[in-house]
Chain A
Amino acid sequence: EIVLTQSPATLSLSPGERATLSCGASQSVSSSYLAWYQQKPGLAPRLLIYDASSRATGIPDRFSGSGSGTDFTLTISRLEPEDFAVYYCQQYGSSPPYTFGQGTKLEIK
């Protein structure tokens, strides 16, 4: 089983700043099959990035993903008020389980 570790657990930033969220895998993620999701309180997660760097439909270009192997990054170039939420990474490149990271909470400073 691939274990995903997200850092930091909590990130405190102000609107307009740049956010960098990390996701580390215990083993190499095959073919960069890694996704990022955003979840706001009381709502289902929303797909932001798939295949490590491809933006999902309708996702603003301030969101970008990068990385390969065991190290992946979600970058939000300029934070908007609606971006403060919890972010999860998930790998789907190996045999089940298709694991999620424990999440990074992005909060307003």
Chain B
Amino acid sequence: QLQLQESGPGLVKPSETLSLTCTVSGGSISSSSYYWGWIRQPPGKGLEWIGSIYYSGSTYYNPSLKSRVTISVDTSKNQFSLKLSSVTAADTAVYYCARHAAYGPIVVVPAAIDYWGQGTLVTVSS
């Protein structure tokens, strides 16, 4: 059974960089059938897709966050990571890592999200 587990600081100071890692177990992050992504949810609000990465390193980012986001993959550790720079209180949210199906005959892109981590609350506060 595939499992995804987020890890990282639960408290980040304003203007600093939020860093989270997702460890994948029960499956290989190097599969060509999947993308790996980050989604966040501010307390009491809806879901926002942040970005996703393929095992090859190909990435897609939300344009509204693109200037501050970096997603990377470490296939040797079966992990992928999120860095969000210059955070403010508006970045306070539960951050989920997730697996997307991948599709596309020529350019492979993310599809529906079929597995989610349990989520981790990150609070931005001094």
The chain A residues found within 8 Å of chain B, CB to CB, are 1, 33, 35, 37, 43-47, 50-51, 56-57, 88, 90, 92, 96-103
Partner of B46, one of A46, A57, A88: A88
Partner of A50, one of B63, B64, B109, B111: B111
The reply to whether A100 and B63 form a contact with Cβ atoms under 8 Å apart is no
Specify which chain A residues have a CB less than 8 angstroms from the CB of B117 in the assembled complex.
Answer: 44
The reply to whether A100 and B46 form a contact with Cβ atoms under 8 Å apart is yes
Q: How far is the CA of A96 from the CA of B113 in the complex (A)?
A: 15
Q: How far is the CA of A101 from the CA of B52 in the complex (A)?
A: 19
- Chain B positions 21 through 53: 1 when the CB is less than 8 Å from some CB of chain A, otherwise 0: 000000000000000000000000011110110
Partner of B47, one of A45, A51, A57: A45
Residue tally, chain B, CB below 8 Å to A:
24
Q: How far is the CA of A88 from the CA of B47 in the complex (A)?
A: 8
The reply to whether B60 and A96 form a contact with Cβ atoms under 8 Å apart is yes
**Chain B residue with the shortest CB-CB distance to A36:** B112
Specify which chain B residues have a CB less than 8 angstroms from the CB of A57 in the assembled complex.
Answer: 114
The 8 A-B residue pairs with the shortest CB-CB distance in the complex, in nearest-first order = A44-B116, A50-B112, A35-B112, A97-B62, A100-B47, A98-B49, A96-B60, A102-B46
Given contacts A97-B49, A103-B46, 7 further A-B contacts (CB under 8 A): A37-B113, A44-B118, A90-B49, A92-B109, A97-B62, A100-B49, A101-B46
A-B contact pairs, 22 of them (CB 8 A): A35-B112, A35-B113, A44-B116, A44-B117, A44-B119, A45-B47, A47-B113, A50-B112, A56-B112, A57-B114, A88-B47, A90-B49, A90-B113, A92-B111, A96-B60, A96-B62, A96-B63, A97-B63, A98-B52, A100-B46, A100-B47, A101-B46
**Chain A residue with the shortest CB-CB distance to B62:** A97
**Chain A residue with the shortest CB-CB distance to B61:** A96
